[in-house]
Structure 1
Amino acid sequence: MEKVTPANVLDAIRLKVAPEQERFVAPVARSLAEAYVDPETAWPRLVFDGDRLVAFVLAFFDVRFDPADPGDRLRSGLWRLAVAADEQGRGYGRFAVDAVCEEILRRGQKRVTVTWTPGEGGPEGFYHRLGFRRTGEMSEDEVVGGMDLPRG
């Protein structure tokens, strides 16, 4: 896991998921722009295998889904995940999610959330295999999933 830097940002922007997955995940450039405008809560990272960029992950920490509601609980979780099309099925997505979970635990949280766009060919099965379950909530048009984290 590495921070996005001037030396690797162009490689990050060039990372592409499989064409059939493009409707389920925003381009890395959009994710980086959103992270740039919300640097207090956003945590963009690149996953490398040696010198090869294999995935991008964007996490968020201590965010309210409804900023207008002070009673809405703070949440931390996975905002975006993109594994390069030719690198899928090798455990990089799981590695990235595990790293986000470790960072959430390090920051003192005990639950992780994720959102996904529902649909055939989408990421819901992947998230279910990792232990996420639907919470019954929606964030705009995306399903919200959650998972309690084990305490070390």
Structure 2
Amino acid sequence: MRDVSTTSPSPRLVPVTADNIDAACAISVRPDQEHLVSPVVKSLAEAYVHPGVAWPRLIVDGDEPVGFVMAFLDIAWNPAQDPADIRSGLWRLNISAGHQGKGYGSFAVRAVTDEIRRRGAARAYVTYHAGQGSPAPFYAALGFRPTGELSGDQPVAALTL
């Protein structure tokens, strides 16, 4: 498979539908990453119970599903502290084990941040697990910077759009 970061115009995000839900649920990360990201089926359940907030998409290259990404859009981050603090960002990113290292993750994050920018936001956010195998360096390479906040036990990082 080619490196999509430099040669492929075909990766795209498509909505998860009745026709591709099985392919979406079949996306699985490497076993050593399973503690870092929830499975797609959980993301789809969260999308179901958070309509209008969750933006789930299957990442496909040609006709082949290679990953899954889900954004959160326009949520009040901590309404008790500041109800005007409305945020959008990356909620979940799962790149299929056999398709990692080919640029699909970077493509998906850029596609999500483009969508967030299109909707008028000035920043995009992400949270992630810290420690062994953390995706922090991946997000830092894409321009996300730690905010010093935590969401639960996960660091929060932001990207100025």
TM-score, normalized by the shorter chain, greater than 0.5: yes
Q: Alpha carbon RMSD of aligned pairs, Å?
A: 1.0
Shift of 1:65: 2.2
Per-residue deviation, residues 20-54 of structure 1 (Å, max 9, x unmatched): 01000000000000011111111000110111100
Matched, 1:53 2:65: yes
Q: 2:23 maps to which residue?
A: 11
Q: 1:82 maps to which residue?
A: 94
1:68 aligned to which of 51, 66, 80: 80
Partner Cα separation in structure 1 for residue 122 and residue 63 of structure 2? 33
Aligned pairs for 1:72-111 within 5 A: 72-111=84-123
Partner Cα separation in structure 1 for residue 64 and residue 124 of structure 2? 28
Amino-acid identity (%): 52
1:134 aligned to which of 146, 149, 153: 146
Structure 1 unaligned spans of 5+: none
How many residue pairs get aligned? The number is: 149
**TM-score if structure 1 supplies the norm length?**
0.95
Structure 2 unaligned spans of 5+: 1-12
2:153 is aligned with what amino acid? D
**TM-score if structure 2 supplies the norm length?**
0.89
Shift of 1:72: 4.9
Q: 1:22 maps to which residue?
A: 34
Structure 1 segments of 4 or more deviating over 3 A? 67-72
**CA spacing shift, 1:76–1:129, aligned 2, 3 Å:** same
